[in-house]
Structure 1
Amino acid sequence: MQEAPPSPLLATYLSFGLYFGTLLFALATCLARAMSFPVTLKSGVYLLIASASANITWLEIIRWMESLLADYQAKTGGSFTDWMQRVDIFDAAYALVVNTTEKWWWSSQHLLFTVSVMIFFWREGIHRALSYPFIPVSKEAAEIALPRSKRSSKKAEPAPAVTGERLSIWFANTFVFVLLGFLGAISTCLALFLIQHNPSLKSHTLRIKDVQPTAALNTFILMSVTSIAATIILEPGTFAFFWNLRALHLFLILPIILDSGTSWFKVLRSPLSPPSVDDETTKTPVKQNRLSKSKKPGKPRRKWEVKDLYNLVGFMSLVSHLTLTAFYFARYGGTVTELIRAVFDNHCQTSITADYLFAMVAVVVFMITETRRLSINGGLVFWMMLSMPLLSSSSIFPFYLALRETAMLQQISEEADEKRK
């Protein structure tokens, strides 16, 4: 690795402190959020996946950093501080997993898989969880909260005690899970996200029925896929490689930041609370287009839906994977043995491949549980899971999410019809 010019000592400490401090904060927050839910067999499996992925991926990263330090001290005799001022861990690690066709075969799948994960987070993240207002407990507040017709004039009765509902305040923005994935491991953040993600749980109801992909989401997702495709033609260590890497992460995270807005903190019903008798507080008005009343009735136009975006990303990932696989075996003359050997070429490659495989395991668990919950065609899902190692989870996962979208929205409509009866 080419030695970089030394950076100021204060900037070095701030850089390392900010990175690892943010990582630990994100891990603690996501773990606390996940562990606040009742323990089930499913959550136990996800927690096992998250623990194993975090330990194995970061064990390899730490080993790699130790080897970098040992090489630097052997060549220069410099101190640990000198090494910190000259090392560029972020770019060096990325360069090690894309500099050969075999390594790129593994890494590209994981990067494209991450695109689908970001759409999933945008679609069903915590920023879409319903907020619950604080319940007034004082006599004056209770009097104000009552309808005007029920307010007493002089002899006001004491406000009733608040029972049966526990509220919890969370740093509930989906952004914190994205931070954990980018700074730590995608498989770890996905597994912890799936522990606390349950659209059917009354204590964590999501506003997902009328959510449609925005122009910003569509644009940034396409730009992120383009950025991934450009990685293979950019030489590691160059200016273009440096900024393309940062642009990729920016394209993936911007849709969630733009959509979640300033709702960093939310008051959510505690997962351990009993179901509320009155759920009127959970209803939010649906925003209507101001021009909708003036439009003449005509043939309804099919909208671009989230499932369409999932299918598009799945198709692009499948084409990319099959093209790269054909190029590797047919034109490059590669073998399966060389692909497996590439996984252990360096610690960074081992780490990102382990991250990809652990994420695949989490996806399989998710597909099994959601297929059962939504009564999706089990035979079709079985073949999708069976083909995942061959066709890549970067394509199978978004295809399944598109299939799940249809079943999920159908279930929501059926439940709404039942309530109206």
Structure 2
Amino acid sequence: MRDQEPAPLDAERRLSTKEAAELLGVKPETVYAYVSRGQLSSRRVTGGRGSTFDAREVEALARRNRRESAGGSPSGGELSVRTRITLIESDRYYYRGVDAVDLATRHTYEEVAEWLWTGRMRPGSTFTAPAASVAVARRAVDALPGHTAPTDLLRVATIAAATADPLRFDLSEDAVLGTARTLIPTLVSALPPAWHDRRDEGPLAHRLWTRLSAHKDPDEASLRALDTALALLVDHDLAASTLAVRVAASARAHAYAAVSAGLGVIEGPLHGAASGLAHRLLQDVLDQGDAAPVIADELRAGRRIPGLGHRLYPGEDPRARALFALLEQIPRAEPSLLAARDIVETTARHAPLHANVDLALAVLTTSCGMPPTAGETIFAVARTAGWIAHALEEYGERPLRMRPSGLYVGPKPPQPLPE
């Protein structure tokens, strides 16, 4: 039985701390925590030590907490969403309960994507793009300026591919999976080639290599490192871009639109673009031969050191650890690996931060003849599979459930019309 909504409170009524706590179902200390977060406003009692609270604000917050109670924290914590896709705990992460690093190091990107989507392993899976989809996406991408950023290229390619798919509004599982298996290779095929070779056959990582690297004849170890990087980055719980995808899917946007929402968020320097910052830092260390002056310049400018630390991993980022292990098998990666180690050790004198996957991606891109933006491209292509998995999961939930309510803190109405 659903809890009944309480009757609206008198707009002029003020609540005591005890009354507010009872209405919210929390301890009095939590009421003041809401105030410190800006979720409630308080007013000191005249001549007393206590505080009073606006009844409407408390009622609105109580309603919001009840709406989020299925997945959120009753004490007003961060938004939570139930998911069966990825679990992160104890410096490890799992795809549908299976260690993600084990999956990524033993299976191809396409096979890991299939596991994430269906919970079934399909050995030998390959993704093929329809010629019509590739043609329209390439025309759109080729019309863009040469300096266009990777995420812009991918976003335009996604929108173009959507226009070539009259069945894009079919949100059934089979239809969405069909979209996923063609959209990802379409995105790769639409990217401009690094040299005059637009390979559209073979494993996805091999096709992506021809779009990113100046090395025309990659060795097997380098291709394996790129493929594993894609598989390691398929998903990472409810990252900012993934939340955007789920919001779009909650509104029943089709899969192309949901992926486009993710691409719009991933471009931020605190998300997908972070690997580019790590690439430039690593290149500066390689150029100077010493991390100390480079780190000093970053700190002097008030910037955080890219490629270090992760809020979800108190210890080492397992994705970085796995990718570094593969890069150690590539002889030409040794200078970049040594530079990355120098960065970690130099910074550790001030803060005990471990390398994260952005620094590992930077070692991959610098040692394989790729531009600074390559890590962002790898990240976006890889994460598209995870976005599709989350969109599929969200399509099975109540529509528009990803709709939080705002807590209005502006001037109290009615206000006079502005002159």
Pairwise TM-score range, normalised by the shorter structure = under 0.3
TM-score, normalization: structure 2? Answer: 0.26
Bigger fraction of residues in helix: 1
Higher relative contact order (CA 8 A, sep 6+): 1
TM-score, normalization: structure 1? Answer: 0.26
